[in-house]
Amino acid sequence: MELNTKIFADGAELADIARLCKNPVIRGFTTNPTLMRKAGVTDYEQFARAAIELVGERPISLEVFSDEFDDMERQARRIATWGSKVYVKIPVTNTRREPADALVQRLSEAGVKLNVTAIMTLDQVKRVAARLANGVPGIISIFAGRIADTGVDPLPIMRSAVELVRPHPSIEIIWASPRELLNVVQASDIGCHIITVTSDILAKLELLGRDLGEYSLATVKMFHTDAVSAGFKL
């Protein structure tokens, strides 16, 4: 199946990044402090520089972790010096719900490529797009999976976001936190620029376009094989 969206791998295991770098389907990489903590990362810069070296010419997004805008800016400018393909992830607000708009505009206009993250509303998309419009290439990450977790269909939001940034070719939309392979197809159908995928969804990519009749038969065979292997009797 031909996809109209770029697939970025999301994770923080250097071994996985090295393996995925050999896969031409993977066009870029993202990570965040939560994934890094789960992976046991203790030295932020050491991990980041190793990941940047592994991904080579592919873009990679690395997130600031301060909650104060002045310190976010210091971290962002430092991270940006580590490679020309680095995008610095800035949260749409800090933990006090103060918008990062001014910081986003200042950094973007100063030449720092940004990935503005944790976005879930169209109002946030509009505000951030306005701040990125006159700067270097930037990314808006919309957490579609988390939107869906609340019982809200993220598709209309994602479709509207893609249309909102259409006048700004330097801005790309990420479909972040997908929950199933279908999300990859949905992102492609609406022309979403990028979707981030974890290893469990990546493992299902080979199922794209599979004949459903054949898939049904394979499922029946799996159930039968497992029942025989278990030695079930009635």
End-to-end CA distance of the chain: 44
> What residues have CB less than 8 Å from 198, skipping those under 6 apart?
9, 10, 11
Amino acid of residue 128: V
Q: Which among 89, 193, 187 has a CA at the least distance from the CA of 144?
A: 187
| Cross-strand pairs, 61 | 30, 87
CB count in 10 Å sphere of residue 38: 12
- The residue assigned the tokens 């190793």 is 50
Which among 89, 204, 221, 233 is annotated as catalytic?
89
* Whether 89 is catalytic: yes
Distance CA 141, CA 115 (A): 7
Residues designated catalytic: 89
